[in-house]
Structure 1
Amino acid sequence: MENYQIVPWIDHMLSPDVVHEQYVPPELEALARQVMEQYDMKVHDMVLITSKPDKGGAIWKISTDKGNRSIKVLHRSPKRSLFSIGAQSYLSEKGYRVPAFILTKDGNNCVEAGGKLWIVTEWIEPLTPVSKVDLAGAVELCYGLGEFHANSKGYIPPFGAEKSSRLYGWGKNYEKIIAKIGWFRDLALAYPSAASSGRLLSVIDEFERQANDIYTRFKASSYTIMTAKGEPYWGLAHQDYGWSNGQMGTGGIWVIDLDGVSYDLPFRDLRKIMTSTMDDMGVWDLTWIRGMIEAYHKANPMDRETFEILWLDMAFPNEFYKHVKEIVYNPGPFMELELGPILDRIMATETSKWEALRELENDMAGYLPGDYTTVDMPSLVFDRPNREFVTPLPSFKLPADERATAPKSVPMQEPAAVELEPIAAQDPVGLPGVDSKPMPVREPAAELKPAKEPTPAQSSEPVLVREPVGMPQTDPKSKPLREPVEAELEPAGELEPVHIQLPKSNVVQEPVTFPQAAPELVPVGTGAGTGATAGPPPAAPALVTLPAAPPHRFTLTVPKKRKSASSRKTSRLKRRRKPRRLVHWRLQKRRMKGRTKKTIIWKIAILKPKRKSLKSKAPRKGTPLKYRSKLPSTKKSKFTTKKRTA
C-alpha cells in the first residue's frame, strides 16, 4: 500500500447493480484505514457517503470512541488542496460555521498518502437543507452565503500552497464562452440532419449578440478598479455553493465542501444560485431575486459598482452555455436526444428574464457608490506559471525642474536614495597665483576648443577647471558625438544638492542627468583677452541629447532539419555497392628482368536489374542447353539438361 497512487476509477468495470458514486477501489479504502491510524481515535465503523470516480475523491462517515467524524480524500493536487485546507482553518479559527479539523498525533491538520491530502473533521449534526419551494429558504441560504464571504476577507494562504484565484479572469471567461457559442453554430452546421440542428441555428445568433453586448458593457464597467483592491480585500468564493453545500444547523447556515474555494469577486456565488434557481423554476421571479439580493446585502453589504457587475453577470447567457456545452463532447446523439427539451426550457424563460433584468437595473441607483480611489491592501498579481506572489513596482516621477534624458537600462547596484554633495568653491592647494573664483564648467557633451596661445599680456599661470559631478567625463582626443553647441558664458556658483528617491528595482529604465550651465571657455589672466565677453545668462540652459546606441544586430541561425530514421536508412541503402559479375578474364604474360610475370586481368560488369519475363527465350536448334525454367508452375523448379533438335 505504500506505493499505491490514487487515480480516477471511472473506467473500472463494475456490475450493473453497483453505482459508481457509491463505490471506491479496495486499495483506497485500505489506505483510508492506514491514514486513520495517525489520529488519536479508535474507529468502530466507516460508511462511504459519496465518491468522485472521475476525479479520485471520496468521503466517509466514521464512528469513533470520540463521536462521529468524517474522513475525506481531496482529489486535487496536494499544493492546491493546501490552499483550501488553509481557508477552512482560517474560517474555523474565526468562529465561523465550517467543520473544524481534527489534528493528528503530530499536531497536523492533514495527512498526505497516495499522492493526495486527507483530512478528518467533525461530523456536524444536525444539518438540514433549507426549503427550495418558498422564498424563506432562499433568503436563509443567501444570508448564510453573505456571512461566509464577509468572514473570508483577509485570508492569506499558508506557505507552500498553490494559490487559486479567479479574481482577474472574468474577461477571459467571457471570451471563452463567446468563442464556444461560435463552436455550437459550427457543430449545428456540421450535423444538418440532426433533430435539433435547425432549432439551435435559429436561436444561437441572439445568444451570441447578448454575450457580445454584455461583454462590451463589462469592459467599460468598474471591474478594473475593483480588482485593484487585491485578492485578500475581496476574500473567497465557494464556487460550488448551493442547496446541498449550505445547510441549516446550530446557529445558522453551515458551509461544507470547501475543496474548490478560490479568490474571486464573491457575489459570483450569489449569481450562480439565483440564475440556477430561476432556471429550475422556469420563470424569472423578480420578488425572489430582490429578496435573495437583499438578504445577501444584509450579511455582506454591496455598493453600486458591485451591483453593476452582479447585474452584468446575470444578463450574460451563462445558463444557455451551461446546458448546451455538452454538445462539444458528443454532438450527434446530444442534438438528437437532449438538446430539444433544453432549448424549450431556456427559451421559455428568456422573456421573463429580460423583464426582470430591466426592473432590476433600476434598483442600481438605490445603492451607494463605493470608494475605490485608494488601495487599502497591496494588489498582489499572481504569476500562474511560477506560482508566486508578485507586487507591482510603484511608478515614480522626477520634479519638473529636474528633467532627464539618457540611454536605457542601466543596472543599479544599490537602489537607494541618492544624495549629491554640494560642491563648494575653494582655492586649489599648491597652485600659487590662482584666483579663488571658481572657473566655469565646460559643457560635457560639446566639443572642447583648444585654448589659444596666451599673448604676452596674458598670464601663463595654470588654469583649474572643475569637472561637474555626476556627468560623464569627456575625452578631448575622442571624436565628438555631434556638432558642438555654442553657449554663452555664465559664472558658476554653488550647486544645490538634489535628493531623488529611486524605486526599489534592480534596473533603472532611464538614468538621471542634471542640466548644468553651458559657458564658453575664456582665457584666464589680468590683461586684455581675445575671448568673448560674458553676456547675460540664457533663459534656459541648452541640453545636448546624446545619440542613442545603435541597435544590436544579430543573425538568426536556423539549424538544419534532421532527417528521419527512415530517410537515413534509405540513404545508406543507396550508398551500398552495386552487385557485380565477372564476365571475362585472361592471363597476361609480361617479361620483367629476365623472368616472366603472369598477371590475371579481370573484367567486371555491373549487374543491372532486369524485369523477369514469364516467357523464356527459345534456344538455338540442335544445341544442348542447361537452363532453369521461368514459367510459373506448381512444382518446384529445377535445372534440367535437354537437347532440342529441329
Structure 2
Amino acid sequence: MSMDPYEESAAVRALSRYPYAVRSVRLLSDKGKKAVWYVDAEDAGGLILKKVPFGTEAIRFMIAAIDYMRGRGLGTPRVHRTSDGGGWAREDGQNYVLFDAVRGRPPEYKIEAELRTLLRGLATFHVASQGFESPTGFYPSYLLTDRETTMRRRVEQLAAWKSAAAGKPNPNGFDRLFLGRADAFVAQGEDALERLRRTGYGDWVRLTHETKTLCHQDFAAGNTAIGDDGRFYVFDMDSLTVDVPIRDLRKILNKVMKRDLAWDLDTMLTMMKAYHEAHPLTKDQYAALVAELTFPHLVYGQVSKYYEGREPSWTEEKHLQRLHEMILTESSKERVLESFLAGLDAWVR
C-alpha cells in the first residue's frame, strides 16, 4: 500500500480497523486539526478518510444525522462502519471517520440550471433533516434562539469599532473607508432587528424547536456535487446546527451575490423559486429571511477580520480591497430585497 508520510502510522492504523484491503492513500488537504485522505480500497472502491476535530458525542450526532437524512432521500456519502461495527476509529488521540467518495463535480453558480439544482438540494437537505432527534440528547450546536441576541451584539460591535476608528489620531485607509459608511451599517442592523420583530419569526422558532430542522452552515458549491450518476450530493457535515433555514439561505445568497459585487433580483428569484419547489415557505417566513439579509453580514465579517486580526497574513491592501467589495455588494441589496418582497404575491400563497 502506498501512502503519504503525513500521519502515516495513525491513518494506517485507523484504516486497519475497517474490513477493506487498502491499495493506496493520498492526502487531499491538511488544515491542522482537520485532514482528508482519498483511499483506494480493493473491495470498496473510492473512500474518503477524514480526521475530525471534535469528540465522540459530536461524531455520534453527525453520523446519526447523516443516516437519518440518507434514509429520507438526501444524497450524502455513507459513513462506513469499522470491523466491530463502530462509526469511527480513534488513533493517537484523534478521531477518523470513513465515507464513500463522490465522483462528480461542484455545481457552477453561473449556470442557471445548476444554481437551481443547488437550491433544490438545499431545500431537500432541510426537509430531510426535519424530525431528527439526537440519539443521546446531545446537540453540538443549537443556534435556534441566538439570532436576535447575535444581531444586537453585532450592531453594538459595529458601533464600538466606529468609535475606536474615529478616535485614532491617524486613521488609515481601512478606518476611513469604514467610517464613511459605519452609520449606515449600524442603521441596517437596527432595521434588520425591527423587521424581524414584525414577522412571525417567533412561531417559526417554536416550530423548529419541535422539528429540530438542521442547517448545514457551509452549504456552498465546494461542499456539494453533481454526481456522475446524476444525483446531487451534500457533504462536509461537520458544522450541523439546529436553526431555521434562513441561516443557510442567507449564506448561499451572499456567496452568489458577492461574486459579481452586486445583488441581482432575477438571480435571487431563480434561487428562491428553486428552493420553494422542494420546501415551500410562507410570505411571513420570506419576510424573516429578508430581515436576516438586511443585516450587513458581509461588511461585518470583513471588518471583524481586520479589527480582530483574524487574517494576519493578509496585507492592508487586501483588507481594504475586500471591504470595498463588500460595501459594493451590500449597497446594492436594499432595492432588490424590497422588490423581492413586493413580488411575493405572484408565486407564494
> TM-score, structure 1 length as denominator?
0.50
Q: How far does residue 110 in structure 1 lie from its aligned partner after superposition?
A: 1.7
Contact 1:48/1:59, CA 8 A, preserved across alignment: yes
Kept in 2, the 8 Å contact 1:79–1:160? The answer is no
Give the Å deviation of 1:115.
3.7
Q: From the two aligned structures, give the one with the greater helix fraction.
A: 2
Give, in angstroms, the shift of residue 97 of structure 1.
Answer: 0.7
1:355 Cα deviation from its structure 2 partner: 1.6
Aligned to 2:266: 287
Distance 1:190 1:51 in 2: 41
Distance of 1:261 and 1:306 partners within structure 2: 21
Preserved contact between residue 192 and residue 291 of structure 2 (Cα < 8 Å): yes
Match of 2:127 among 136, 150, 161: 150
Shift of residue 346, structure 1, vs aligned partner = 2.9
1:117 positional shift: 2.9
Provide closer, same or farther for how the CA distance between residues 346 and 38 of structure 1 changes in structure 2, counting only shifts above 3 A.
Answer: closer
- Rounded to whole Å, the distance in 2 between the matches of 1:25 and 1:207 is 49
| Aligned match for 2:165, one of 177, 188, 191 | 188
Query: 1:132 aligned to 2:106?
Result: no
Measured after TM superposition, the shift of residue 274 of structure 1 is 0.9
Rounded Cα–Cα distance in structure 1 between residues aligned with 2:270 and 2:53: 36
**Equivalent residue for 2:280, pick from 290, 297, 301:** 301
Query: Partner amino acid for 1:329?
Result: E
Task: Look up the equivalent residue of 2:80 and give its one-letter code.
Answer: I
Tell me: CA distance 1:309–1:234, structure 2 relative to 1, closer, same or farther (3 Å). Answer: farther
Partner residue, 1:73: 51
Secondary structure, counterpart of 1:121 in structure 2: strand
2:233 is aligned with what amino acid?
Answer: W
Match of 2:240 in 1: 261
Pair 1:143–1:230, CA change in 2 (3 A): closer
Which residue in the other structure is 1:388 paired with? Answer: none
Alignment RMSD (CA, Å): 2.4
Which SS does the other structure have where 1:71 is aligned? strand
- For 2:136 and 2:91, how far apart are their aligned partners in 1? 20
CA distance in 1, matches of 2:280, 2:137: 33
**Contact 2:299/2:330, CA 8 A, preserved across alignment:** no
Partner in structure 2 of residue 109 of structure 1 = 87
Matched residue type, 1:105: S
Tell me if structure 2 keeps the 8 A contact 1:88–1:98.
yes
1:347: how far off?
3.3
Letter in 2 for 1:78: T
CA gap 1:196/1:323 in 2 versus in 1, 3 angstroms: closer
User: Structure 2: where are the runs of 5+ without partners?
Assistant: none
The residue identity in structure 2 corresponding to 1:96 is L
Shift of 1:113: 3.3
After superposition, the Cα gap between the structure-2 partners of 1:142 and 1:156, relative to the gap in structure 1 and judged at 3 Å, is same
Deviations 1:374-415 (A, max 9, x none): xxxxxxxxxxxxxxxxxxxxxxxxxxxxxxxxxxxxxxxxxx
Checking the alignment, whether the CA contact within 8 Å between 2:191 and 2:294 is kept in structure 1 is: no
- Structure 2 SS opposite 1:50: strand
* Corresponding residue of 1:275: 254
User: Could you say if the C-alpha distance between residues 350 and 264 of structure 1 is closer, same or farther in structure 2, counting changes exceeding 3 Å?
Assistant: closer
Is the CA contact (8 Å cut-off) linking 1:152 and 1:235 kept in structure 2?
yes
Q: Comparing both chains, which one has the higher relative contact order based on Cα–Cα distances under 8 Å and sequence gaps of 6 or more?
A: 2
Distance 1:319 1:124 in 2: 31
Which residue of structure 1 lines up, in the alignment, with residue 34 of structure 2?
Answer: 57
Q: Which whole-Å deviations, capped at 9, do the CAs of 1:467-502 have from their partners, x for residues lacking one? A: xxxxxxxxxxxxxxxxxxxxxxxxxxxxxxxxxxxx
Residues 157, 163 of structure 1: 8 Å contact kept:
no
What is the distance in 1 between the residues matched to 2:155 and 2:86? 45
Give the equivalent residue in structure 1 for 2:68: 90
Contact 1:73/1:117 (<8 A) preserved: yes
**Is the Cα–Cα contact under 8 Å of residues 158 and 186 in structure 2 kept in the other structure?**
yes
* Number of equivalences: 342
* Fraction of identical pairs, as percent: 25
Q: How far 1:350 sits from its partner (Å)? A: 4.2
Larger radius of gyration: 1
Question: What CA distance in whole angstroms lies between the structure 2 residues aligned with 1:305 and 1:191?
Answer: 44
Name the counterpart of 1:342.
Answer: 322
User: Residue 304 of structure 1: CA displacement?
Assistant: 1.6
> Which among 99, 102, 117 is matched to residue 77 of structure 2?
99
Counterpart residue number, 1:320 = 299
Whole-angstrom distance in 2 between the partners of 1:293 and 1:240: 18
1:140 CA displacement: 1.4
Contact kept? 1:73, 1:116, Cα under 8 Å: yes
SS of aligned partner of 1:292:
helix
Superimposed CA distance per residue, residues 486-541 of structure 1 (whole angstroms, 9 cap, x where no aligned partner) = xxxxxxxxxxxxxxxxxxxxxxxxxxxxxxxxxxxxxxxxxxxxxxxxxxxxxxxx
Query: What is the one-letter code of the residue matched to 1:264?
Result: D
Specify which of 146, 149, 156 is matched with residue 169 of structure 1.
146
Moved more, 99-108 or 162-171: 162-171
CA 260–350 in structure 1, closer or farther in 2 if over 3 Å, else same: closer
- CA shift in 2, pair 1:330/1:39, >3 Å: closer
Deviates more, 1:131-140 or 1:207-216: 131-140
- What are structure 1's unaligned runs of at least 5 residues? 1-23, 370-646
Shift of 1:232: 4.8
Instruction: Give the whole-Å Cα distance in 1 for the aligned partners of 2:299 and 2:86.
Output: 44
Q: CA deviation at 1:186?
A: 3.2
The 8 Å contact of residues 62 and 70 in structure 1, kept in 2 or not, is answered as: yes
In the alignment, is residue 199 of structure 1 matched against residue 177 of structure 2? yes
Whole-Å separation in 2 of the counterparts to 1:114 and 1:179: 43
Q: CA deviation at 1:226?
A: 1.5
- State the alpha-carbon separation in 1 of the partners of residues 223 and 37 from structure 2: 16
Give the direction of change, closer, same or farther, for the CA distance of 1:335–1:113 in structure 2 (3 Å limit).
Answer: closer
Q: Is the 8 A contact 1:155 1:232 kept in 2?
A: no
Give the deviation of 1:263 after TM superposition.
0.9
The amino acid across from 2:323 in the alignment is L
Give the match for residue 245 of structure 1.
223
* TM-score normalised per structure 2: 0.90
Deviation, structure 1 residue 210? 1.0
Mark the CA change 1:91 to 1:300 in structure 2 (over 3 Å): closer, same or farther. Answer: same
Relative to structure 1, is the Cα distance of residues 73 and 231 closer, same or farther in structure 2, using a 3 angstrom cutoff?
A: farther
Residues 294 and 368 of structure 1: CA distance in aligned 2, closer, same or farther (over 3 Å): closer
Aligned position for 1:44: 23
